[in-house]
Chain A
Amino acid sequence: MPAAFSAASIEVRELRKHYQVHRRSAGLWAALRSVARRPRETVRAVDGISFSIAPGERVGFLGPNGAGKTTTLKLLAGLLYPSSGRLRVAGFEPFRREAEFLRKITLVMGQKQQLLWDLPPLETFELNRALYEIPRRQYDETLGELTELLDLGRIARSPTRQLSLGERMKCELCAALLHRPEVLFLDEPTIGLDVSMQLSLRRFVRAYNERFGATVLLTSHYMDDVLALCPRVVVIDRGTIRYDGDLGSLVRTLRPEKLVSVRFSAPVPPAEFGRFGKLQNAEGDRAVFLFPQDALQAGVARILAELPLADLSIEDPPLEEVMRELFAASARDEGPAPGGAP
């Protein structure tokens, strides 16, 4: 193994995955013509990305639909063969799909399931025990731990088809982690789940990562997942990396303002608001002000001193807004986003 790869759990250099697809216009004539001649087009799903992830890191992999997130995860899991570039996961070249490599990783896909539909999840667990050759004692121990962390209880014994989406996802995670993988690829694991189930899955992923020191690469459309789990984010769009770094500095770079939300204890005439700073919105007894970082302290001090307040809170702008801005900027072809791009 080259020295450069030794410290990282995941190492990607100039990775590319291009597809040839058939293209035709709409309509009967185009359909008939495409029978004889099928024009091909190259889709650059992943186009020269590089990053490295240390063992035990939790990284959020973000991007709009079709950005190349799932393709990258599949390349890392060895399901796809790269067009060019180098990649190593847990010391292996994924596309060789060696048994030792497959024992070290897992891929959980929120939209696909491996559980046997007609049988209780416990039977899938048992099958995976045989497939991964997990010694009985280790299996019982891991299953016990996962049952406790995921609060599986009786659901592992009920037929899968009778379980709710959230219960099934808990069991999917359990089935995917019985062999105690070192690297977790989670592709939209909370999709379609209610808020409390999302919360409990996030808590679980964090607990698993802390207990076993596993590396986690997560894609999700729910920014709360990313906020709760990932100190670092890699943002990908149209196959290239737009940002790689700390989540906090991404927010600060793109949206340097802080949101100051206040609730008044007595009516305040709206005309007064302009004196304190840039107003984002006001409704009833509530108002939200925007302050640049350097003016925050003085602004908040003035509000506290001069306005009748029942409550005040200071927040970063919602991550959804930050992401929307980042993707819009990328769509306008304004070049790479500012920040720690690789």
Chain B
Amino acid sequence: MARRYLRLLGAQLRIAGLVSLQYRADFFTDGLLSLFWLGVNVAPLAVVYGRRETLAGWSFPEALIVIGWFTWLKGILDGAVNPCLTAIVEHIRKGTLDFVLLKPADAQFLVSTAKFAPWRGVDSVGGLLLLAFAFVRLQRWPTPGAVLAALLLLCTAVALLYSLWLIAISVAFWVVRLDNLAFLFGSVFDAARWPVSVFRGAWRFLFTFVIPLAILTTYPSLALLGRLDARTGLFAVLGTLAFFVLARQIWRRAILHYSSASS
């Protein structure tokens, strides 16, 4: 079973690669845009830290780590998640989701791996450079254990991002006109560029428990800095697992709704 789906993933990635080769100009525009956005992302930090040494306990280079992580994840969001999101909404609108549902493979897997924009991977490289720069400014490097914990949390962050995305597209089955969905999703995700401790009161609760953006960038950054306690790490992994199960359930309900309502 796992081998079959790995083979299918290979086939889907191959197609995505071939399609993106048709649009080679995107590589250059995406690359340039990515550099531009890297600058835009760092600018507010520079402004804030121009007047103070720390913000909610985070120094400038430490906050840069959060931004670096955010940029890396944004590369994944734009490269692998958003293209599928746009494609599924298009499928529902045009009625071609029928073809996906008629294939003898899990429909969730098929729609989740249908489209990639590999050129957007440039963002991820930018994110890594930013992380390296931040550690140079900190004048120390993370321990191997910290890197390992951060990589585990990267997987958690991607799984969480994916679950949030799956919940969002499931909504598309009820409300077909979702042109702004990707935009809304991007805007919420944008808040993850700040360490979650920057937010106070209701916002902090919202971004930790309801839309757990803390898991996306703050916790992996803390792990890299060696400041994340094991209990919080475990909470992140279990929380993500719960989100994943919830997302799968909502998706299944959505497919059932599609099957019983459309013609």
Q: From B255, which residue of chain A is reached at the shortest CB distance?
A: A97
Distance of A106 Cα from B102 Cα, bound (Å): 8
Known interface pairs A102-B103, A123-B15, A123-B18. Does A79 touch B7 (Cβ–Cβ under 8 Å)? no
B98 within 8 A of partner (CB): yes
Judge if B95 is at the interface, Cβ distance under 8 Å: yes
- Bitwise interface map of B from 93 to 126 toward A, beta carbon under 8 Å scored 1, else 0: 0111011011111000000000000000000000
- Residues 232-248 of A, flagged 1 when their CB comes within 8 A of B and 0 if not, give 00000000000000000
A307 on the B face (CB < 8 A): no
- Chain B residues whose CB sits within 8 angstroms of the CB of A19 once the complex forms: 261, 263
The interface on chain B, measured as residues whose beta carbon lies within 8 A of the other chain's beta carbons, has a size of 26
For B262, the closest partner residue in chain A by CB is A80
In the assembled complex, the Cα of A308 lies from the Cα of B58 at a distance in Å of: 107
Known contacts A77-B102, A103-B104: A112-B263 contact under CB 8 Å = no
Partner of A45, one of B101, B105, B263: B263
**Given A130-B7, A130-B8: A79 and B105 within 8 A (CB)?**
no
> Is B260 part of the contact surface with A, judged by Cβ < 8 Å?
yes
The distance in angstroms between the C-alpha atoms of A88 and B112, with both chains bound, is 31
Q: How far is the CB of A184 from chain B (nearest CB, A)?
A: 12
Assess A114 versus B99: contact at CB under 8 Å? Given A123-B18, A131-B104: yes
Give CA–CA (A131, B104) in the complex, Å. Answer: 7
The listed residue (A70, A95, A113, A130) touching B263 by CB distance below 8 A is A70
Is the Cβ of B19 less than 8 Å from the Cβ of A116?
yes
Digitize A19-43: 1 where CB-to-B-CB distance is under 8 Å, 0 elsewhere.
1000000000000000000000000
Q: Please, which residues of chain A bring their CB within 8 A of the CB of B140?
A: none
Q: Is B143 an interface residue, CB under 8 A from the partner? A: no
Say yes or no for A119: interface residue by CB 8 A criterion.
Answer: yes
What 1/0 flags go to A102-116 for Cβ under 8 Å of B?
110111010011101
- Name A residues whose Cβ lies closer than 8 Å to a Cβ of B: 19, 45, 70-71, 74, 77-81, 95, 97, 99-100, 102-103, 105-107, 109, 112-114, 116, 118-119, 123, 126-127, 130-133
Instruction: Pick 5 A–B contacts, CB within 8 A, sort by A.
Output: A45-B263, A77-B98, A77-B102, A78-B101, A99-B104
